[in-house]
Amino acid sequence: MTLLEVSGLRVTYRTEDGPVLAAKDVSFSLGRGEILALVGESGCGKTATAMAIPRLLDDTRATIGGSVLLDGVELTALSERRMRDVRGKDISVVFQEPMTSLNPAFTVGRQIGEVLRQHTGLTRRQVRERVVELLDLVGVPDARRRAGSYPHELSGGMRQRVMIATAVACDPKVLIADEPTTALDVTIQAGVLDVIRDLREQLGTAVILITHDLGVVAEVADRVVVMYSGRHVEHSPTAAVFDRPQHPYTIGLLDALPARAALRGGRRRLTEIPGLVPSPATDPDACQFAPRCPRATAECTAARPALTGADGGDGHLVACYHPGPRRDA
């Protein structure tokens, strides 16, 4: 059953040099208990798209267009007062850098408890007990003692778990995780991903995972939306993206993985995508990947390709006039 429906989402930033289009008509759905990954290079619009859903973008700098339906409620039409009730209760966010998101002047237990006091009618004693339960849920050892710790007294992995505990305090329907494993070592990264999987299993929380790490995507995501220059160019079940990618950009991302590095001259060399990402201030009626694409033809620069079904069915969509697997496959 569809929980979240995003349709034609547009995010425009106002700058001194003119409008910047961070998200351009992005559409996707999210089912209950599903993990959906938004992937792509830095600056492709992943975070702008995700932060527009709970309307966490600065209204004085950003304009949001399109539709965002959560359980049939149009979030773009709600007043700011009503959105404050939605944030933390129905939609929560785990931000990329916990040290800048947690307040250094307060204990982590107090910060988690603040969310509970804001959205629930729990007594002080119940809040304290719930904080310990949440820290235990996300795998923080000696949870009762750690509730009295300050952020600087915890490791990076523990701080990230505290952020997740804060985000799920009120059993949200949707959890948005913005690069939750960035700057963590491999073992801690695995632990954080396990926490996200466990939350999905235990609480039924749906997750939007923002990442540029395709290894993380393969590990936890059910479906993938590949974004390029503010647009979604491929959308499919995770296995299909890795087994039979259709868009040349997706193929380029996969070929850039160290595990797929080609053997050249006796040494393994990473494959790069030639050229530069186009300016976000532009939005031509054409495929913006065409200048970097080995398959580009005149058709690609004459009109923008629509997102259509790819060979194989299973909900695999691609925005390309010349889709298909690697030509050397």
> Contacts for 325-329 with beta carbons within 8 Å, 24 or more apart?
325/244, 325/245, 325/246, 325/251, 326/245, 326/251, 326/255
Return the pLDDT at 3: 94
Return the pLDDT at 66: 96
Return the pLDDT at 282: 85
| Cα separation, 81 vs 252, whole angstroms | 44
Return the top range by mean pLDDT from 62-76, 90-104, 278-292. 62-76
Q: What is the mean pLDDT of residues 163-188?
A: 85
> What is the average pLDDT value for the chain, to the nearest integer?
89
| Cα separation, 251 vs 243, whole angstroms | 10
pLDDT band per the 50, 70, 90 thresholds, residue 267: low
Q: Does domain 2-221 have CATH number 2.40.50.180?
A: no
Specify the amino acid at residue 44: C
Question: Can you give the residue ranges of every domain in the chain?
Answer: 2-221, 228-318
Q: What is the mean pLDDT of residues 291-319?
A: 89
Return the pLDDT at 192: 80
Higher pLDDT, 199 or 145: 145
Q: What is the mean pLDDT of residues 267-290?
A: 85
Return the pLDDT at 42: 86
pLDDT digits (tens, 9 = 90+) for 29-77: 999 999 999 999 888 999 999 999 999 998 889 999 999 999 999 999 9
Return the pLDDT at 285: 93
CB distance 76 to 95 below 8 Å? no
Neighbours of 172 (CB within 10 A): 23
pLDDT band per the 50, 70, 90 thresholds, residue 204: confident
Report strand pairing: 174-178 vs 62-70.
Answer: unpaired
If you count them, how many residues does the chain have? 329
pTM of the complete model: 0.90
Return the pLDDT at 63: 94
pLDDT band per the 50, 70, 90 thresholds, residue 296: very high
